[in-house]
Structure 1
């Protein structure tokens, strides 16, 4: 995700939170769930990447790849998480998998 897209995502998240407590609470819940716990943050980010592929959410793919990289993921772990998503939903996820590979390429992972 480009810096502008990342800044825009953060700005819009704040805008939503400023206008309704639900969005603020949901954001806090998301941060809490993805924090280190019984399952390390790295594994949670990789799981999130698989789910993002299954749900065909490009913004989520980028967010989870960046989170996984920050948590120490390597190339093989990221590709395996993408493959789990593809297996979970089938060939309909190929456009999202291609997008995920473009994000890996953008981050010099490939």
Structure 2
């Protein structure tokens, strides 16, 4: 929902929580893909930001 609503702070918050809960990168990326399917092409920039946050947090 954060990707669909275009809230970078929310995206970072949720990804950080995913990391703390032990989620893997591929699990988070799958959720991002679903958000893009639902939200359409306008969500691409926010999906890219989410991937950058995942990389910054070094989630494997």
What is the TM-score when the length of structure 2 is the normalising length? 0.92
Q: Which residue of 26, 44, 56 corresponds with 1:106?
A: 56
* CA shift for structure 1 position 107: 1.0
Aligned residues: 60
Q: Which consecutive residues of structure 1, in runs of 5 or more, have no partner in the other structure?
A: 1-50
Q: Give the superposition deviation at 1:108.
A: 1.5
1: CA distance, partners of 2:6 / 2:57: 20
Residue 57 (1) aligns with residue 7 (2): yes
**What is the CA–CA distance in structure 1 between the aligned matches of 2:39 and 2:11, rounded to whole Å?**
15
Aligned mates of 1:101, 1:68 — CA distance in 2 = 13
String of CA shifts for 1:9-34, please: whole Å, max 9, x gaps.
xxxxxxxxxxxxxxxxxxxxxxxxxx
Larger Rg, first or second structure (1 or 2): 1
Aligned equivalent of 2:31? 81
The ranges of structure 1 where at least 4 consecutive aligned residues each deviate by more than 2 angstroms after the TM superposition are none
Larger relative contact order, structure 1 or 2 (CA cutoff 8 Å, min sep 6): 2
- Give the TM-score normalised by structure 1: 0.52
Partner SS state of residue 53, structure 1:
coil
Equivalent residue in structure 2 for 1:92, among 42, 48, 55: 42
